[in-house]
Chain A
């Protein structure tokens, strides 16, 4: 057990425990706050994986914006402090079965795959993920098209959200 493995296991426990709470807690505000815990654990994993830029983006954008938007939406739509009644629908047994089967299937798939025991190569000295990202995002033989399409996606989301949620005058 190295220190990094212990950090990984701790954050994995936080991620999975909080994820289970997200789907099972009755109070939606708590569910959103557990989602923040999950997202934070994922940010730690990014840090372990040397994806420094993604770590920052995860905390600033995912936790700082998306999770907050969830809390806004919950406050806009709930009637009481605590949601009454059953929070799971009638088919939750089947849903649990499908979830377990998905996990089992993925696990089997991973078991039969040889690449699963790959080890990470050391980062080359002077490797800067952000520089690499910036170059890849706008170079014509890499990802310039997804980059521009992303702005179209954001445009569509902006117009859609303003139109759908906007108040009629």
Chain B
């Protein structure tokens, strides 16, 4: 049997890798890829807590499905923004989009 701690440590590591990707990548699409990794880490935690907690309440799985919906919405709008910015400014590098930066 797998102890709960394995899942939690794996999710923590995946979350940290995703966080690094979000902070360090230049390309806006790569940043969104990092966000996906973080969302998946959260989902692993949710499902693991459901399985190791009380099975009577299915809250963990419902949350995971809501996270799926949030991820899809985030990707749809986020990538739409990236494409729109690319068509106007001809770049997807987050550092070059500094119009609002003083």
A interface with B by C-beta (< 8 Å): 2, 4-5, 8, 12, 15-16, 19-20, 22-23, 28, 31-32, 35, 38-39, 42, 45-46, 48-51, 53-54, 57, 61-62, 65-66, 69-70, 72-74, 76-78, 83, 86-89, 91-92, 94-96, 98-100, 102-103, 106-107, 110, 115-121, 123-124, 127, 129, 132-133, 136-137, 142-143, 146, 150, 153-154, 156-158, 160-161, 164-165
Which single member of B19, B51, B58 contacts A102 (CB below 8 Å)? B19
**CB of B97 within 8 A of chain A?**
no
Contacts of B92 in A (CB 8 A): 77-78
Residues 24-65 of B, flagged 1 when their CB comes within 8 A of A and 0 if not, give 111101101110110010011001101111010111011011
Which single member of A8, A19, A53, A89 contacts B6 (CB below 8 Å)? A8
Q: How close is B32's CB to chain A, nearest CB, in angstroms?
A: 7
Contacts of A45 in B (CB 8 A): 7, 10, 44, 47
Nearest residue, chain A, Cβ from B21: A23
Which single member of B12, B23, B76, B83 contacts A91 (CB below 8 Å)? B23
Which single member of B14, B19, B53, B65 contacts A54 (CB below 8 Å)? B65
Contacts of A19 in B (CB 8 A): 14, 17-18, 37
Contact A123 B12 (CB under 8 A): no
Q: How close is A161's CB to chain B, nearest CB, in angstroms?
A: 4
B interface with A by C-beta (< 8 Å): 1-10, 12-21, 23-27, 29-30, 32-34, 36-37, 40, 43-44, 47-48, 50-53, 55, 57-59, 61-62, 64-66, 68-77, 79-84, 86, 92, 94-95
Contact B62 A88 (CB under 8 A): no
Q: How far is the CA of A92 from the CA of B19 in the complex (A)?
A: 11
Q: How far is the CA of A123 from the CA of B55 in the complex (A)?
A: 8
Which single member of B15, B27, B43 contacts A28 (CB below 8 Å)? B27
Contacts of B14 in A (CB 8 A): 15-16, 19, 38
If A2-B1, A120-B51 touch, does A74 touch B29 (CB 8 Å cutoff)? yes
